[in-house]
Chains A and B, each alone.
Chain A
């Protein structure tokens, strides 16, 4: 099937206006007759639930955390992009659009990205009105910093805690609606199935994580705002609870999964310290504003970093990408780090690390200025590594961080199941094959505050409110399926823990579906993952019962889904016979080692349709057409 993204016609800058005019509205008195289920309360979910509640819809919001203030958007450090052009350095909506498309290696929809760039400015206004304390200069104006993949300063920030501050803004707006009664909140509640009736999404089935109760919620539409799936790698910068379950189970109910192989490996994370490692910690990309990346020129150089003179250092990013230098996009910076480490030039224990050195900036700006900009990051680095980055360079290494892939959605953020909308990182729409720094927060909030309220109304206006109740037999079947799954997991009583399986899956994914992918490796992964999954269902051990709080059981369900999803990722990576953005196929590279894209055969979105367990999913394509930008080789040199 050729998929239609349903982008509006007309000139780029008028598309969103045109669409908003075409969309049907729901009159204020009718809004309260509709019930919308919002799953996830990170930036996308909290902003969507708050905005829809405020418009008068009945909203139910769900999160697995104990509070809606804890979604993993909170961990975003560096900032949020907007095309305000406050510094007068040449920025514009069009340039943010261009940078984002190019950063994504021409694998995103023009119309979506342009809308995102337009809405970026509204987001900053909204957040300031909510009381988000962005950094200011001494005259009281908002301050900006630079981020990777851009030559302008368009990133707004709140110390190293931008995600937290934006989320608290959205959480405040959500809290206000909860108080007003338009949003009902269900914390510590995990969505485990999507209920589709007559081809449309009409509810979800959840498990109460405290009591173990499995129950259903019916609604007129469902919004999934459940984040990304980088935890398929076991070690990632995601929170421990981040998972693919909600989107994967929607996929199994008929929603197409788009570009699952597009995952982002972030260049600046603290290297792994041992087998006990449970997660990886990101050091904000903003550090690359003032830090220089280097490795020793000599293999196995055992000297301490400050003993190595300048001429014996290789500032690899500055050497390879003189125009962007240390601010090259994430996929490129990550690959450069991997290359030098593969050559045996890596720093630190195990040789898997490069230096990020602040000595020059400290000399130029003084320690105080650096402390003001990055103080909390340096503190965090010291807590984890017991090293002082003011006195010696940080050691960093790439780590899985973000998923550009996600459920397929059209321009209206509606998935291939009518009534199922997907927002934020959970959808695939705006970042192509690589996301630029400070753009995730932008997308989550654009979707939640400014897009969904228009597009969901169009769907609702065409449906009858309250069509089905949770008494419909389809809900009963979904509940029984979940209970059966719980019984099965508890009944295996094998010998290996859930973590052991997850770690093993992570090793396969990192090795073969990570930063560099080959046909041979992917085929190996496609054999190994089903074997591991079969072993999981025979040999996993999950103690306790299903009738109370059981964290091992929660984890087991999520890992079971990762064990299926990993295979889909590897399949998608195998079918995409080109290199683009974060997807690097070793067979497809230029003589100088840069990614070689194949626009003739792969300038499309790959959307996968579930066809049943043990059956190969069907591939549908959405061709990407570029009416405004010319497809060009991406160069940061």
Chain B
């Protein structure tokens, strides 16, 4: 396949960026999207030009590092798929593809397609955990957990922290991300103890970090590569209201 790419190039956070045209020729349908970019980059390097900078690591759809907006959609056209797991067989010969970084107030661009998502880490640091010390814990089977609750917790904790939800949201909100962590821990007896405090500090941190609020567009759910459901946002709101009732 031969494709025309329009790729966002930006030297640094303070510089202006622009779309740059690149030809991607001789692309195999079995290539992943990132392998297609590798192919283009190899050529750029050989020509002595700077390759396109993009974040990636595991290339198995689990580390959450890759972060590109393809033709206007975070992670591209295939549902429940990260960029690294998107394959070129989903495109056609002679297609034009627009590739941009995740865009949100809380995610400043570092270079080209790379953004700084450390704001998400700071939301977790504010309280997205169970405050347990190492050692001195009961036997793992001492506290029973209904399978449904375990499954709900697992559904929520599948979040890979990629930030696509933020990039897709017109408000740049991290509500789906935050709600996934709040819901995961609130579904477990071990996590209930701190549930009220957790939801308050995490939502505060979310606003402090420059994320917007939720106004029910559900774009986040549509682009989430792990299929995290917007119902968890409702759960977050419920936990938030509950935190006022003692």
Contacts and interface: CB of A to CB of B under 8 A. Distances in A.
Contacts of B121: 67-69, 175, 185, 187
User: Is the interface on chain B under 10, 10 to 19, 20 to 34, or 35 or more residues?
Assistant: 35 or more
A72 interface: yes
Contact of B124 (A126, A175, A279): A175
A67 B66 CA distance: 12
Interface string B169-182: 00000000000000
Contacts of A187: 118, 121
Interface string B189-224: 011000000000000000000000000000000000
Interface string A41-82: 000000100110010000000000111111010110000000
B246 interface: no
A222 B46 CA distance: 39
B79 to A, nearest CB: 11
Interface in A152-166: 158-159, 161, 163-165
A30 interface: no
A131 B191 contact: yes
A238 B87 CA distance: 19
Given A168-B157, A552-B45, A137 B134 contact: no
Contact of B138 (A129, A158, A172, A450): A129
Interface stretch (A10-18, A269-277, A434-442, A560-568): A269-277
A178 B125 contact: yes
A548 B111 contact: yes
Contacts of A140: 144-147, 150
A429 B152 CA distance: 38
A273 B188 CA distance: 43
B144 A165 contact: no
A74 B138 CA distance: 25
Interface in A121-150: 122, 124-131, 133-142
Contact of B58 (A138, A239, A493, A544): A239
Nearest to B67: A66
A279 B85 CA distance: 12
Contact of A75 (B58, B81, B144, B147): B58
A278 B59 contact: yes
Interface in B99-147: 110-111, 114, 116-118, 120-121, 124-135, 137-141, 143-147
A165 B161 CA distance: 12
A134 B150 contact: yes
A549 B63 contact: no
Given A66-B65, A130-B132, A273-B30, A544 B50 contact: yes
Given A125-B138, A159-B154, A497 B59 contact: no
Interface in B53-95: 53, 55-65, 78, 80-81, 85-87, 89
Nearest to A48: B134
A126 B134 contact: yes
Contacts of A168: 157
Contacts of A551: 51, 53
A175 B128 contact: yes
B34 interface: yes
A210 B111 CA distance: 9
A615 interface: no
A66 B65 CA distance: 8
Interface in A268-314: 273-274, 276-279, 281-282
B31 interface: yes
Contacts of A462: none
A191 B6 CA distance: 35
A176 B129 contact: yes
A497 B42 contact: yes
Contacts of A210: 110
A372 to B, nearest CB: 10
A133 B184 contact: yes
B17 interface: no
B51 A543 contact: yes
Contacts of B89: 386
B238 to A, nearest CB: 19
Contacts of A54: 133-134
Nearest to B186: A131
A593 interface: no
B160 interface: yes
B63 A75 contact: yes
A468 interface: no
Nearest to A71: B63
A354 interface: no
A165 B130 CA distance: 14
Contact of A173 (B31, B48, B134, B153): B134
Contacts, number: 216
Given A130-B130, A176-B129, A278-B38, A67 B118 contact: yes
Nearest to A165: B157
Contacts of A122: 135
Contacts of A178: 125
Interface string A240-279: 1100000000000000000000000000000001101111
A499 interface: yes
A422 B116 CA distance: 30
B141 A384 contact: no
A72 B65 CA distance: 11
A402 interface: no
Contact of B161 (A69, A84, A386, A548): A69
B62 to A, nearest CB: 5
Given A70-B65, A543-B51, A131 B57 contact: no
A380 interface: yes
Contacts of A141: 141, 144
A525 B68 CA distance: 40
A584 B240 CA distance: 59
Nearest to B12: A548
A499 B44 CA distance: 13
A276 B39 contact: yes
B49 A543 contact: yes
A388 B46 CA distance: 39
Contacts of B111: 548-549
Contacts of A543: 44-45, 48-51
B28 interface: yes
Nearest to A163: B62
B161 A175 contact: no
A493 B45 CA distance: 10
A179 B135 contact: no
Contact of B135 (A65, A66, A386, A450): A450
Contact of A239 (B30, B59, B184): B59
Nearest to B145: A140
A544 B49 CA distance: 8
Contact of A240 (B56, B130, B134): B56
Contact of A278 (B35, B48, B133, B139): B35
Contacts of B134: 47, 50-51, 54, 126, 173, 449-450, 453
A495 interface: yes
16 contacts: A67-B118, A69-B121, A69-B124, A74-B63, A133-B157, A159-B158, A176-B131, A179-B125, A210-B110, A278-B59, A383-B78, A383-B85, A543-B49, A548-B111, A549-B110, A549-B114
Given A131-B130, A133-B184, A277-B35, 17 more contacts: A67-B117, A68-B121, A70-B65, A129-B138, A130-B129, A130-B132, A140-B146, A140-B150, A141-B144, A158-B154, A175-B128, A187-B118, A239-B57, A240-B58, A278-B34, A541-B48, A548-B111
The 4 closest A-B CB pairs, nearest first, are A172-B129, A140-B144, A129-B137, A133-B153
Interface of B: 11-12, 28, 30-32, 34-35, 38-39, 42, 44-46, 48-51, 53, 55-65, 78, 80-81, 85-87, 89, 110-111, 114, 116-118, 120-121, 124-135, 137-141, 143-147, 150, 153-154, 157-158, 160-161, 184-185, 188, 190-191
